[in-house]
Structure 1
Amino acid sequence: MPRIPLSEFLPGAPEVPILDVRAPIEYAQGHIPGAVSFPLFTDDERARIGTTYKQISQDRAVLLGLDFFGPKMSQLVKLAQKLAPHKRVRVHCWRGGMRSGAVQWLLELAGFQVELLEKGYKDYRRWALAEFAQPRTLRVLGGLTGSGKTDVLHALAARQQPVLDLEGLAHHKGSAFGSIGQPASPTQEQFENNLAAALAAFTPDLPIWVEDESRTIGPVHLPVTLYEQMHAAPLVLLEVPRQQRVRKLAEEYGRHDPAALAASILRIRKRLGGLVTKEALAAIGEEDMEKMVSLVLDYYDRTYTHGLGGRRLISVKSDTCDPAVNAELVLQTTLATHS
């Protein structure tokens, strides 16, 4: 059956859905961004076919697969009609083999125009991992905790600046408090897939703004090659007075569940020390968010400042956390530096 390469498969029209025919457990681990789970077999059926293949023979495994496939054919066609009323779909499995071939045969029999991905999702993963090694011009925005770096990135994006929001992709703000108020983080594999897709969407040769991050952002970690590029790039350091940062963080975290804040404090109690931990927990109980933030900020400021050693710094001083003001300051300073 005809198959198309990834370079032709990915840029398909938005109205032509990508149907991932792998088992649900495979899809949950990682999938092409935007793809719809369209499993040919359940997780249990896939496991049974695999066991039959290994322990008996390929022929028996194929027959077992057909036993599972037969009763589902009508149901699969009806689902495809709902997902693609124009009867055009893109289909893939793991390697571009029997599973996607079977679905292509079925849907073409039902009158669909089907584009089948050559080499399957495995080829997408190869492409995604290679994407991180592509050399890029990065403008890394740093600053002590509470400087409003993420807000400044959003303000830069509103000014049509290319922005890569790593914390948005990770669903985590990076600190021990980073998961509060966020949806569940993706798997490592899905984070990489989403990140590769975001990078590929940028116009080549234009500088990309990205927030300064450690190698790990909550439960996920940055690919080594991209992290090395970020660390080698000049660091645009936004410097905001401590009191403004304390006030901003207190306002943000004061809106969240005190129990979640206390749990975050306890996660870093060894780094804070017993006395500071006790005082920070007491401040939460007293609803004194500024005191709690101030106590914890000492630790984060020391840690971040220590990590600045040896990096090329471009200082941007501001007396406010206003993201629009700071975005303008950052742009002006960066343009002056690169002119």
Structure 2
Amino acid sequence: MLSVQDFLIQRKSLPVLDVRSEGEFAKGHVPGAINIPILNDAERKIVGTLYKQQGPKEAIKEGIKLVGPRLHDIIEQAERVSAGQEVLVHCWRGGMRSNNFCWLVSRLGVNAKPLQGGYKAYRGEVLKSFENDFNFLVVSGSTGSGKTEILQALKRQGEQIICLETLANHKGSAFGGLGLSAQPSTEQFENNLYEEIIKLDLDKRIWIEDESIAIGKIFLPQPLWKQLRSSPLVKVNVPVEVRVKRLVADYGDVSTTDLLEATQKITTKLGGQHFKAAKESLLQNDLSTTASILLTYYDKAYDKAILNRQDQIVAQLDFDWQNLDGFIKDKLCSIS
């Protein structure tokens, strides 16, 4: 049995096999793990019902019967993934499924080591990581300021970053999912976030973008979000006309139907008159006017939110997006 600490070290060089069902895997998994289900979703439900109704003996017998026809495929997958190496194996709690899998493949020459405590132990490490003391420096700015691009430019300069919107696959507003693939589950987002955190030196500063607690359908971990909201802010002021151009460039390829649907989601906050004007300009393919109208709402919301955090602002920097690298080197990186 591998401790979770040994697992985290060894998985850097060895394949990880997740023998839970495909549904469990889809909800959340160790990044990079390969799913080889011992029981699929339907089979797991059957075995679970039997366990409750008739006890473990009948459940085990049914599980063996269900898995039997697929044993050859399971073994071949394990051999193919291992490619002569050891493999690390886990199920949910490090119990019957992973132990039986390891026993089976070991009979055929595949050296497999189960994770003590299973995926649940890994999740414990994930959740614990969000309670670390982070030396955050928060990039804040109105909608369209380009906080994600600024973070990526900081990374290129050797700075440590956490880019929440990239991990969430969403840009944060009602329009944030347009043109992007589906978001991960909140559980998978947390796993991916953990994998970024363990790469960082927590004694040094970490740049992160200012976010509300929800990014699309994903909710940020409470301990981390509370630290983010109480950390020093660097407010980047980008002229509204520049932000309008950036938004048009970002969403210019999105269909009018999708843009209109997203606009309708904020009708109440936008107000009927502003919604009508935004809709008319959108239907006329005048995206600049649409963006300007929407920014009136988003800027008002941002100004209200930042008002209560004025004492956290350690720097206000004007940026017109003419020289990103120069802005990063001369302005942001020089903040102490």
TM-score by length of 1: 0.95
Aligned residues of 1:81 and 1:87 also touching (Cα < 8 A): no
Structure 2 partner of 1:25: 23
Which shifted more, 317-326 or 131-140? Answer: 317-326
Which ranges of structure 2 fall in alignment gaps of 5 or more residues? none
Q: Which SS does the other structure have where 1:33 is aligned?
A: coil
Deviations 1:281-324 (A, max 9, x none): 11111111110000000110011111112321121122336532
Structure 2 partner of 1:268: 266
1:327 paired with 2:328, answer: yes
Q: Which SS does the other structure have where 2:64 is aligned?
A: helix
37 and 16 in structure 1: CA distance in 2 versus 1, 3 angstrom threshold: same
Q: Distance in 2 between matches of 1:165 and 1:6?
A: 26
Structure 1 partner of 2:7: 9
Following TM superposition, the consecutive aligned residue runs of length 4 or more in structure 1 with deviations greater than 4 angstroms are none
Q: Determine which of 89, 94, 97 is the counterpart of 1:96.
A: 94
Q: Determine which of 154, 175, 197 is the counterpart of 1:199.
A: 197
CA RMSD between the two structures: 1.4
Aligned residues of 2:106 and 2:112 also touching (Cα < 8 A): yes
1:147 paired with 2:148, answer: no
For residues 36-55 of structure 1, the aligned pairs below 5 Å read 36-55=34-53
Aligned residues of 1:238 and 1:316 also touching (Cα < 8 A): yes
Aligned residues of 2:157 and 2:329 also touching (Cα < 8 A): no
Structure 2 partner of 1:316: 317
Q: Distance in 1 between matches of 2:109 and 2:331?
A: 55
Q: Determine which of 242, 245, 248 is the counterpart of 1:247.
A: 245
Q: Which SS does the other structure have where 2:9 is aligned?
A: coil
TM-score by length of 2: 0.96
Aligned residues of 2:170 and 2:216 also touching (Cα < 8 A): yes
Q: Distance in 2 between matches of 1:214 and 1:327?
A: 24
User: What letter is aligned with 1:276?
Assistant: H
Q: Distance in 2 between matches of 1:54 and 1:8?
A: 34
User: What letter is aligned with 1:132?
Assistant: F
Q: Determine which of 170, 175, 184 is the counterpart of 2:182.
A: 184
Structure 2 partner of 1:118: 116
Q: Distance in 1 between matches of 2:13 and 2:57?
A: 38
Aligned residues of 2:270 and 2:297 also touching (Cα < 8 A): yes
Aligned residues of 2:133 and 2:202 also touching (Cα < 8 A): no
Q: Distance in 1 between matches of 2:331 and 2:131?
A: 27
User: What letter is aligned with 2:328?
Assistant: A
Aligned residues of 2:168 and 2:215 also touching (Cα < 8 A): yes
Q: Distance in 2 between matches of 1:252 and 1:72?
A: 47
Q: Which SS does the other structure have where 1:74 is aligned?
A: helix
Which shifted more, 220-229 or 84-93? Answer: 84-93
Q: Which SS does the other structure have where 2:24 is aligned?
A: helix
Deviations 1:26-49 (A, max 9, x none): 111111111111100111110011
